[in-house]
Amino acid sequence: MCGRYDLNETGRRIRVTFNVDQLPVIEPSPDVRPTEMRPIVRLTRHGDARECVLARWGLVPHWAKDIKFGTKCINARSETAASLAAFKDAFKRKRCLIPATAFYEWSGEKGRKTKWRISVKDEPLFAFAGLWEWWRDPSKPEEPGIETYTILTTEPNDILSDIHDRMPVIVLEKDYDEWLENGSTELLRPIPSEMVEIAAAELPRQTSLTAE
């Protein structure tokens, strides 16, 4: 599961890395959380270029009755996303890239967990493989719809397997078009361990002992 990530970029690097002409207003955040509005990169309606838009983290399929559905869909397992009702339409037609500078996982016992910051070596900005959807509240048809997204996950590589049993799918820059245009399942795998950097973002709290 990927439940937090870092996006500390706001402008030029996103534009250049993802080859988009225009950007929405992006607020940098070292701790992106579900339900927040964050940038995604996708193909334009005609499929001849990329665009960057803001979307809400937590995919809500068009048929959902309540936006709260998205809190269950911040991640999608890459092995089953193409067949599950919540994701299969998006997997066919609404793939995206999600800009990030790092993501977080936790390990250890409850109350003494270590928070790990995980990034890609020599890549100050990279992309998760994602899916997006468009949803309108059926009880308020007069209001505008909202775009939402999910992060695809896969089994961990060797270096992350001791921390968590899943990791986000990271798409390398050379594969951006292949994911957006064709949705190749060959890309839905962990990146090699040697490409990953891990650092403790927050050490576990130490229990103080008082002599009696």
CATH number at residue 126: 3.90.1680.10
**The two structure tokens encoding residue 109:** 């016992």
Lowest mean pLDDT among 58-62, 164-168, 200-204: 200-204
Task: Please give the mean pLDDT across all residues of the chain.
Answer: 92
Q: Give CA–CA dist 118/105, Å, rounded.
A: 8
Q: What is the pLDDT of residue 112?
A: 85
Judge whether 184 lies within some domain.
Answer: yes
Judge whether 26 lies within some domain.
Answer: yes
Judge whether 210 lies within some domain.
Answer: no
Judge whether 119 lies within some domain.
Answer: yes
List the catalytic residue out of 2, 52, 73, 96. Answer: 2
Q: What is the pLDDT of residue 212?
A: 31
Active site residue 105: yes
List the catalytic residue out of 9, 96, 105, 133. Answer: 105
What digits encode the pLDDT tens for the residues 75-85? 999 999 999 99
Judge whether 211 lies within some domain.
Answer: no
Q: Give CA–CA dist 49/46, Å, rounded.
A: 8
**The two structure tokens encoding residue 101:** 């500078």
Q: Give CA–CA dist 89/80, Å, rounded.
A: 13
Q: Give CA–CA dist 67/61, Å, rounded.
A: 9
Q: Give CA–CA dist 127/101, Å, rounded.
A: 8
Confidence of residue 208 (pLDDT cuts 50, 70, 90): very low
Sequence-distant (6+) residues with CB within 8 A of 6 are 29, 30, 31, 32, 100, 101, 102, 103, 104, 117
Active site residue 155: no
- pTM for this prediction: 0.93
Judge whether 212 lies within some domain.
Answer: no
Lowest mean pLDDT among 1-5, 59-63, 93-97, 144-148: 1-5
Give the closest residue to 118 by CA, choosing from 73, 67, 71, 153. 153
**The two structure tokens encoding residue 40:** 């995604």
Could you count the other beta carbons within 10 Å of the beta carbon of residue 71?
13
What's the domain count of the chain? 1
* Residues spanned by the domain of 95: 5-202
Phi first, then psi, for residue 207 (nearest 5°) are -80, 125
